[in-house]
Amino acid sequence: MAIINCPGCSKRVSDKAGACDHCGFLLSGQDTDSLARQAQIQRKQLLNKLTSQQMTAMLLFVVGIAAAFYDWAEEGAMPNFLVDTMFTPSVLKIIGFSIMGLGLAWYMITRGRIYNLKRKR
């Protein structure tokens, strides 16, 4: 019995286990080649998923900006827009900034995960 890295999630699992405890990746009855191939496929799928998540996060960020500065754009009061935003919070601004923050955080997390995934290869 040996400890191997799960091809699905890269966590340590026993090679005698039928499936990975962490992600459910099927380990039994597979030779090293097909395990490696499956890992490659899973990794590619995850990368695709993360890339589209990154796009969504970016879109969310842009929507947040649009919502947060919608009032300001309506008023056309450019020089004081920051002061204006700080001191006259509206529901739209609060929601807008929340979405913006969420989008940015999500984007950063997804970026980090893509970076890790690519480095592991």
Site residues, Zn ion (CB under 5 A):
6, 8-9, 20, 22-23, 25
Joined together, the tokens standing for residue 64 give 């947040």
Nearer to Zn ion, 27 or 68 (CB): 27
Nearer to Zn ion, 12 or 118 (CB): 12
Beta carbon of residue 113, minimum distance to Zn ion (angstroms, whole number):
15
Beta carbon of residue 45, minimum distance to Zn ion (angstroms, whole number):
14
Nearer to Zn ion, 5 or 80 (CB): 5
For residue 54, which of 92, 103, 16, 102 has the smallest C-alpha distance? 103
For residue 42, which of 32, 53, 34 has the smallest C-alpha distance? 34
